[in-house]
Amino acid sequence: MKILLTGGTGYIGSHTAVELISRGHEVEILDNLVNSKITALDNIEKISNVKPKFYFVDLLDKENLDKTFKKNHFDLVIHFAGLKSVAESIEQPLRYYENNIGGTINLLEVMKKYNCKRLVFSSSATVYGNQDGVKLTEDSQTGIGITNPYGETKFMIEQILQDLAVADPDFKITILRYFNPVGSHESGLLGEDPNDIPNNLMPYIMKVSTGELAKLSVYGDDYDTPDGTAMRDFIHVVDLARGHVAAIDHQKNGVQIYNLGTGKATSVMEMVKAFEKAAGKPLPYKIAGRRPGDLAVVFAGAEKAEKELGWKAELTIEDAMRDTINYLNHLK
């Protein structure tokens, strides 16, 4: 199929592009490069021997978005594009609501206009709100206790997609709720390289490891967990990318929702120790206070994707750390 990836030069998008190309799909990328680099296209080409066609388009620029779809037929869109910093969304709610929701509505309207009615949406475990320490399955409560506008945009877009599917039953929509993506492609050519000060654990660890940042702050060691630090469902980004391939192979009319997680929770301190082991050197860190809004334990019920998509995460934390170190070595 000819598949358009919005936000496809980003961390998860670029890894997904590689997996789709390896399965014979024709991949094209639309991105405004607000939080990614055009060099991702070269790196995708080095891995796949294919350089995806690129459209430098902002989803808020509906005129150019329309032109893109008018000139090119796409069988399916995977919608990664969106601002994703939890902290930034709290400071800039209007920018997040306009960009993430307004951009998505533009995309959906243009897709409908040009009869492109297959969509995979990059959602997030954050839609489960403040449910702490329980296995989160696809029918767990959503939308209650979300602590930030970023998470609200993901939840609202899920509602928009549900309503669209009712109004237009020709749409095939898959919502994928990511837990905590980590790691890099084994080539060391793709990885998380945010343009800004990172929010997430692994990009922060990476910048401490390269010396760009002095020390990791471990946000709290007084949680009710085995080592006192918070726990998350960290999933290798290549497993996550493969989940998208499985999703498009099983699409049907209406809306399907799947968690993409490992089903296991790993602590922050376990991640630090795993990184140190892979790096062969200590990582400078200090114990700091809890980060407001953080939960103690968040992890997926991952059974549904395995049962219905025939997909489950197979790579380990050690794989993710090995691949992250390899990526850092390539960045030098």
Q: Could you tell me if 188 and 329 are in contact, meaning their C-beta atoms sit under 8 angstroms apart?
A: yes
- Hey, which residues between 295 and 314 contact ligand WQD (CB under 6 A)? 298
Backbone angles phi, psi at 174, to 5 degrees: -120, 125
Kindly tell me which residue out of 126, 153, 256, 259 binds ligand WQD, with binding defined by CB under 6 A. 126
| Residue 230 interacts with ligand WQD (CB under 6 A): yes or no | yes
Closest by Cα among 304, 303, 299 to 136: 299
C-beta separation of 88 from 127 below 8 A: no
**In the bound complex, what is the minimum distance in angstroms from residue 268's beta carbon to ligand WQD?**
5
181 within 8 A of 238, measured Cβ to Cβ: no
Q: How far apart (Å, rounded) are the C-alpha atoms in residues 151 and 285?
A: 28
Stretch that binds ligand WQD, among 97-105, 130-138, 183-191, 212-220 (CB under 6 A): 212-220
- Report the residue number, 64 or 140, with the smaller CB distance to ligand WQD: 140
The only residue of 117, 135, 172, 232 in contact with ligand WQD, by rule CB under 6 A:
232
DSSP for 136-202 reads E-TTS--SSS--SHHHHHHHHHHHHHHHHHHH-TT-EEEEEEE-EEE---TTSS-----SS---SHH
- Catalytic residue chosen out of the listed positions 11, 55, 128, 150: 150
User: Applying CB under 6 A, does 268 fall inside the site for ligand WQD?
Assistant: yes
Q: Is 150 a known active-site residue?
A: yes
Q: Which is nearer to ligand WQD, 289 or 310 (CB)?
A: 289
Count residues near ligand WQD (CB under 6 A): 20
Radius of gyration of the chain (CA): 19
Residue 180 sits in the site that holds ligand WQD (CB under 6 A): yes
Q: Which stretch binds ligand WQD (CB under 6 A): 67-75, 98-106, 188-196, 216-224?
A: 216-224
Mask for 34-53, x = binds ligand WQD (CB under 6 A): --------------------
Closest separation in Å from C-beta 231 to ligand WQD = 7
Contacts with ligand WQD, residue ranges (CB under 6 A): 84, 86, 124, 126, 178, 180, 199-201, 204, 216-219, 230, 232, 268, 291, 294, 298
Task: List, by residue number, the catalytic residues.
Answer: 150
